[in-house]
Amino acid sequence: MENCTSVKEKLIKNNLTQTWLICRLGERGITTDKTELSNALSGRRMTRKKKIILSESEKIIDDYEQKMAINKKKEYKHDKTRI
């Protein structure tokens, strides 16, 4: 259940949608839909596949956050040089 909350919070924090996450999961070969993802995020009917969905979702969002932090640092350096 902890992963469920973590993934939901990270989606909200980064202003990402479940549709975005479904697409990213698909790129990693994990086929899912809105209903299955919603059930996984709520912790309902936890199956092996839903555990995989949560685990991969964590990795996808962590990767996103890391890349965005790098981009923000670049933007900050760029803005700093203008002053």
pLDDT tens, residue by residue, 8-62: 999 999 999 999 999 999 999 999 999 999 999 998 888 999 999 999 999 999 9
Strand ranges in 1-83 using DSSP code E only, listed in sequence order: none
Residue position matching structure tokens 């839909």: 33
Domain boundaries in the chain? 2-82
For residue 75, give every residue at least 6 positions away whose Cβ sits within 8 Å of its Cβ, in sequence order, or none: none
Q: What is the pTM of this model?
A: 0.80
pLDDT classification of 3: cutoffs 50, 70, 90? confident
Read off the DSSP letter of residue 47. Answer: -
